[in-house]
Structure 1
Amino acid sequence: MSTENALLTILIEKINNDTLVLPTLPEIAVKVRESADDPDVNLMEMADVIGQDPALAARMIKISNSAFLGRTVKVSTLNQAVTRIGLRQIKNIATAMAMEQLFVSQNDLVKNYLDKSWQKTLEVASSAIALLQIYVKNNKHTSLNLDTITLAALVYNIGVLPILTEAERHPEVFANPAFLALAIKKLAGKIGGSIMRAWGFTDDFVEVAESWSNPNYRPSNACYVDFIRIGAIKEGVLKVSNKDEMLGSYVEKGIIPSIEMLQEDDYLNIRNDVKSAFS
């Protein structure tokens, strides 16, 4: 049995036996989420929690000043940033900001793969968030919201991490990108769903992780999967047999007004503003 096939067998067995080691949510993200769920927490206390991680604090200030949140008057302190973002949004946005901490490795081969994976994640997330921002403007009564997709779009492909962790033990596997792509295509969705459940995330996040790469999964109502899948197709992450037909189905569903809008300045400017906020 080749190394690649052996690794695929190991991964499948570990998934079936529930013994695959899943990544843990970054500690600062756990603290923020626990604090946000405390009905008695106030904005000053939340700022203190986020301030325990200087890198996260700096990023929260950056995003609070971003065009993504539609702000023109700049803030310079964490207290101001938290006040501007608000407790309702802070939980998912802070968690999203912490996600990059998971895409690290001491192995140069793995690090390179993770870096590329994270950059692709940012590209897809920027597209998906921009698309939902436009959709919300035209559909005022939708239950979909930007703070949820901000996190969902940055964890949609989280299932790749355990696959890369297992592959890290076999450096020769990284010399075969086609195999890694196959393993990720076959297993990342199921693994991603398991991670979302292990982290205690809601069904929206499980649905995104499990179903974004399955073009046959097409709920009748608008959902976060729609926007992330369009972003993945647009950024070349998700290959589909008939790109125009797939994108056309989202025009019919009312998710996007036209395929051409993906080349228009309104969409591209929002997308670039979002990417700038998260980069």
Structure 2
Amino acid sequence: MTGAIQGEETVANPALEQAIINKIRDKGISLPVLPDVALRARRIIDDPNSSASDLVEVISQDPAIAARLIQVANSPLYRGAQHIDNLNQIVSRLGMRTVSQLIVSLSAKQLFHANTPTIKRIMRDHWAFSTQVAALANHIARRHTRLDADQALLAGLLHSVGGIPVIVVAEDIPKLQDAPAVLNELVESLQSRLGGNIVKAWDFPDMFAEVIQHCGDLGYQHDGDPNYSDVVICAIAQARGISRTPDDRPIMAAEKLGVDLESSMIDDELDEAIRALGG
């Protein structure tokens, strides 16, 4: 399988893609599961008898998540007139559902881990790009749509979650580690197939699987109102600094939303938000 990799060639290789899929299956590599704090937060939101104090109790048992929640709550994403310095204030200002979604977003960093130095770096870059897309998706949803900006943030963060098992498998393939361009292409090619299965296993709304399915296609277009796929596609294009598809066609999602991809959206405030999400 690894003999198919030659230097930095990135020509699509269906045989190599299938070999990766087989290796994931044969090694019994489990698809990523949500961290415990995220699962508990979602259960509280789904329980009509739960209260804000129940959610605060869950958060308080994970000091790292609690600290990052306070950081994000005071970032340009959610900053209000008064500085937030405790969990009760966060839940009161943002609401239980928004806080629950943020817990999922922030705890997702735990999924992006690896053992070897090369793969750690690749996974770190994968996470950094995901947080950039998430912050941009939140910004675009707020400015250009009536969609839920918190949902857009989470969709942006998880758009490439299917790449995680591909990168994990690469730890066992030295030649693949030495060809990061090939590995990145494999991630791009396979993450929609695997990512949809992951968010379905998490029992997330269908929207997340739809975003994962469509966001790799910069030429994606559809009839009707803007959707989360449009938002995440625009966020990906902005994060990559591109304004047209690889075959030089307009990015229809940007036209639908009225987003100008020619100019950068990333100012000091958005950069601060990206850093807060990245942890």
- The TM-score with structure 1 as length reference comes to 0.86
Which deviates the most, 110-119 or 179-188?
179-188
Alignment of 1:62-101 (within 5 A): 62-101=71-110
Q: 1:12 aligns with which of 9, 21, 24?
A: 21
Deviations 1:140-199 (A, max 9, x none): xx3x10111121111110011010111111122110122212211221111010101011
Contact 2:44/2:50 (8 A) holds in 1: yes
- For 2:240, the equivalent position in structure 1 comes to 236
Give 1:11 deviation, angstroms. Answer: 2.7
**Letter aligned with residue 167 of structure 1:** A
The question of whether the paired residues in 2 share the 8 Å contact of 1:7 and 1:167 is answered with no
For 2:206, the aligned partner's letter is D
Match among 42, 46, 58 for residue 49 of structure 1:
58
Root-mean-square deviation over aligned CA pairs: 2.5
Structure with higher helix content: 1
The answer for the alignment partner of 2:10 in structure 1 is none
What secondary structure is seen at the aligned counterpart in 2 of 1:235? Answer: helix
5+ residue gaps, structure 1: 137-141
Structure 1 residues 44 and 104: alpha-carbon distance in aligned structure 2, compared to 1, 3 A threshold: same
Contact 1:126/1:271 (<8 A) preserved:
yes
Q: Supply the AA of the counterpart residue of 1:256.
A: G
Task: Give the drift of 1:79.
Answer: 1.5
Give the distance between the partners of 1:259 and 1:64, measured in 2 at CA: 28
Contact in 1 for aligned 2:163/2:188 (Cα 8 Å): no
Pairwise CA distance, 1:270? 5.2
Q: Corresponding residue for 2:180?
A: 177
1:156 counterpart residue number:
159
| 1:118-129 mapped onto 2 (5 Å cutoff) | 118-129=127-138
Report the TM-score when normalising by structure 2.
Answer: 0.86
CA contact (8 A) 2:139 2:149 kept: no
CA contact (8 A) 1:64 1:84 kept: no
Partner of 1:263: 264
Q: Does the CA-based 8 Å contact 1:66-1:273 persist in structure 2?
A: yes
CA shift in 2, pair 1:124/1:161, >3 Å: same
Please say which of residues 2-11 and 200-209 is displaced more in the overlay.
2-11
Deviates more, 1:189-198 or 1:102-111: 102-111
Distance 1:106 1:149 in 2: 31
Q: Distance in 1 between matches of 2:181 and 2:261?
A: 30
AA in 2 matched with 1:79:
N
Once residues 227 and 30 of structure 1 are traced to their aligned partners in structure 2, the CA distance between those partners, rounded to angstroms, is 26
Structure 2: any 5+ residue segments left out of the alignment?
Answer: 6-12
Q: CA offset at residue 258 of structure 1? A: 3.6
Identity of aligned residues (%): 28
**Structure 1 residue 99, shift from structure 2 partner:** 0.8
Shift of the 69–180 alpha-carbon distance from structure 1 to 2, 3 Å rule, reads same
How far the C-alpha of 1:257 sits from its partner, in A, is 4.8
> Residues 25 and 199 of structure 1 are in contact (CA less than 8 Å); yes or no, is this contact kept in structure 2?
yes
Tell me the distance in 1 between the aligned counterparts of 2:53 and 2:186. Answer: 45
Aligned partners of 2:22, 2:165: CA distance in 1, in Å? Answer: 13
Offset at 1:131? 1.2
How far residue 269 of structure 1 moved from its aligned partner, in angstroms, is 5.1
Report if aligned partners of 1:56, 1:97 keep a CA contact under 8 Å in 2: yes
